[in-house]
Amino acid sequence: MGDKETEGGATREEIVQRVELMESMIAEGRRFTMRCGWIFVLWGVVDLAAMSWRYYQPNSLWVGEWAWPICLAAGVVLTFLGRALQGRQQGCSKGLRWRSVEAVWGMMGITLAIYITGAMVRHLTWQYSYIAALLIIIGMAHGISAVILRWRVQGVVAAIWWGGGIAAFCVRSNGGVERIMFLEMVFGMILFGLYAVVLERMGRGRANENV
């Protein structure tokens, strides 16, 4: 782009040029905005990995005590790494909405870390109410995020998590809880994350819309 600015009468070529310039710059700007769909996919995969580990390796030395902590720690590390890479590539662009959503999910992460650690230390993770509370807290984060972003799809996802929480209170077997968890991970995390990724690639990510 030249250093000298010209203003004045607009020819057809000039107008077309301006339109093309706007289109390319808007596309650049969209590429720059923050993307978060991949985080849902990552956490869905991490949680499914932990569940599979427990399910397929019931006699492994690591089962029970370490499958979840190791997978969750890996999830945290990968999330931070991904965000750091994203930040380096994209510079900084955080609207009020994005910052609000980030705060909700950040605080939810800390809440769950405290909750899960406490339950593990006290060996209470076998309780159905522990799973139910876990699902309801995640549903709450989705719900708040849906209100901030005015995003009905995420509202539906929040309802799926809350529904899972209620179902976890009602089941009477470990198999039932595992099925609920599996469905939540697939529908509430992976599929929702993929949907968000597709929207973001189309330049329609909700967190980047303006306040």
Partner 1 sequence: MRWFWSGWAAGEPMKTSDQLPELDPVIHGKLRLALLSLLLAANEADFTWLRKKTGASDGNVSVQMVKLEEAGYVAMEKRFVGRKPQTLYRITPRGRKALAKYVDALRILLGKAL
Q: Are 74 and 23 in contact (CB under 8 A)?
A: no
18 binds partner 1 per the rule CB under 8 A? yes
Compute the distance between CA of residue 120 and CA of residue 133 in angstroms, rounded to an integer. 14
210 binds partner 1 per the rule CB under 8 A? yes
Interacting residues with partner 1 between 138 and 177 (CB under 8 A): none
Compute the distance between CA of residue 39 and CA of residue 72 in angstroms, rounded to an integer. 13
CB of 18 to partner 1, least distance (A): 6
Q: Count the residues of the shown chain that bind partner 1, applying the rule CB under 8 A.
A: 30
Residue 92: burial class (beta carbons within 10 Å; 0-12, 13-18, 19+)? exposed
Nearest 5 degrees, angle CA 33-CA 35-CA 39?
A: 160
CB of 4 to partner 1, least distance (A): 9
Nearer to partner 1, 98 or 161 (CB): 98
Choices 15-23, 43-51, 118-126, 131-139; region in contact with partner 1 by CB under 8 A = 15-23
CA distances for 5 relative to 8, 19, 20, 22, 35, angstroms: 10, 17, 17, 16, 34
**SS3 for 52-93, per residue?**
HHHHHCCCCCCCCCCHHHHHHHHHHHHHHHHHHHHHHHHCCC
Residue among 125, 145, 131 nearest 39 (CA): 145
Choices 41-49, 92-100, 147-155, 156-164; region in contact with partner 1 by CB under 8 A = 92-100
Interacting residues with partner 1 between 23 and 52 (CB under 8 A): 25-30, 32-33
179 binds partner 1 per the rule CB under 8 A? no
Compute the distance between CA of residue 54 and CA of residue 66 in angstroms, rounded to an integer. 10
Choices 12-20, 68-76, 145-153, 191-199; region in contact with partner 1 by CB under 8 A = 12-20
Considering only residues 56, 58, 59, 92, which one is a binding residue for partner 1 as defined by CB under 8 A?
A: 92
Q: Are 155 and 146 in contact (CB under 8 A)?
A: yes
89 binds partner 1 per the rule CB under 8 A? no
CB of 16 to partner 1, least distance (A): 7
Choices 10-18, 35-43, 63-71, 106-114; region in contact with partner 1 by CB under 8 A = 10-18
93 binds partner 1 per the rule CB under 8 A? yes
Chain residues binding partner 1 by CB under 8 A are: 1-3, 5-7, 10, 12, 15-16, 18-19, 21-22, 25-30, 32-33, 91-95, 203, 208, 210
